[in-house]
Amino acid sequence: VVQTSFIGDAVLTTPLLEHLAREGGDGVDVIATRVTAPLLKTHPAVRRVITYDKRHGGAAEFLRVARAARGDRQAYLAQGSARSAALALAAGCRERIGFDTSDGRWLYTARIRFRDDWHHARRLVSLATAAAGTLDDAVIRPSLYPTRDDASAVDAILDGRDTSARPLVALAPGSVWHTKRWPGFGALAALLADEADFVIVGGAGDSAAAAQVAQHAARARVTNATGRLSLLGSAELIGRAALLVCNDSAPQHLASAMGTPTITVFGPTVPDFGFGPLAPGSRTAGEESLSCRPCDRHGPRECPLGHWRCMRDLAPSSVAALARTLLDRDIRA
Ligand code: SF4
């Protein structure tokens, strides 16, 4: 399986890996980036992760990876570039299976219909089975396997806190795409200060967003964990929370894998693109009445209309009301 896209894409590929591992053999070989490889290395469906530095490695790296993948007869192109398809060809994969909309489709031996009305996890499974449309939601839910070290790192951050006595809500205010960052996380924490404690998850690059949340969180008890955990550590931390509130970004997929109910705030994008949260009980929030939504598949660099109302108009009180309904129910998977 070639999956050299973003973190969320790698997580959503795990149901495909599980399906392939169930079908036979002793596990799946995955070509992944240096960022996403550690997420997949502990997965029981994976036999081997071959890391591929596609940005900096050039031709020598391409040939190294192709050599490493020699012996695999089938390639599933979860990432659809012509380079990924060429890599599978160079590795000697006789069957190359990908989506009929991918840039590399002219190098495929089988082109699978890209169902834009399906969740992306289900789409990816459809690369391996024609029955993907009939599979139960639980089968297309991703999975991740944090290690004991990840658990210890989270223990240190939580510092003995009893999350069963008072709910812990994880907040993920970051996103690669600026227009997908809802500015209401701090106000949300302030509104829920009497009902829950909070932990902010994200990478080192999310520290400014975390500081902004803490600044607006008033008397809410907030722990900043950004930049302190690996990706699997972040998954472990999200797995300890009663609820995750996040943007349309990677943490929602970590939560889907860990079974943590999620509220995903959508602005310029929409759940119909196929990347919404999958943990049982999860909900989405967005300004449904805005006719300009969605305006970009990933989220534009800047609001093309200049007002950014899809995020500015989404009231923290409405997300807080949604959070209360989820916290009041015992919906943990
Ligand atoms: S055009 Fe609409 S959906 Fe797009 S960023 Fe602006 S407000 Fe949001």
3-state secondary structure string across 38-78: HHHHCCCCEEEEEECCCCCCHHHHHHHHHHHCCCCCEEEEC
How many whole angstroms from 311 Cα to the centroid of ligand 1? 8
Q: How far apart are CA 226 and CA 198, in angstroms?
A: 13
C-beta 179 within 6 A of ligand 1: yes
The SS3 of residue 278 is coil
Range list of H helices, the chain: 7-12, 14-23, 37-41, 58-68, 82-90, 120-125, 148-158, 185-191, 207-216, 231-240, 250-258, 309-312, 316-328
State which ligand 1 atom lies nearest to the alpha carbon of 290: 2
Check: pTM over 0.75? Answer yes or no. yes
C-beta 303 within 6 A of ligand 1: yes
274, two tokens: 């196929």
C-beta 292 within 6 A of ligand 1: yes
Task: Compute the radius of gyration of the chain from its Cα atoms.
Answer: 20
**Helix 58-68 vs helix 82-90: angle between axes, to the nearest 10 degrees?**
50
- pLDDT on residue 55: 84
Q: For the beta carbon of residue 174, count every other beta carbon within 10 angstroms.
A: 24
- pLDDT on residue 333: 41
Angle, alpha carbons 55-60-62 (nearest 5°):
60
Q: Which is it for the CA torsion 172, 178, 179, 184, positive or negative?
A: positive
- pLDDT on residue 76: 98
- pLDDT on residue 164: 81
Nearest to 234 by CA among 147, 166, 119: 147
State which ligand 1 atom lies nearest to the alpha carbon of 268: 3
Residue type, 326: L
- pLDDT on residue 330: 54
State which ligand 1 atom lies nearest to the alpha carbon of 294: 3
- pLDDT on residue 331: 46
Which positions of the chain have pLDDT values less than 50? 331, 333
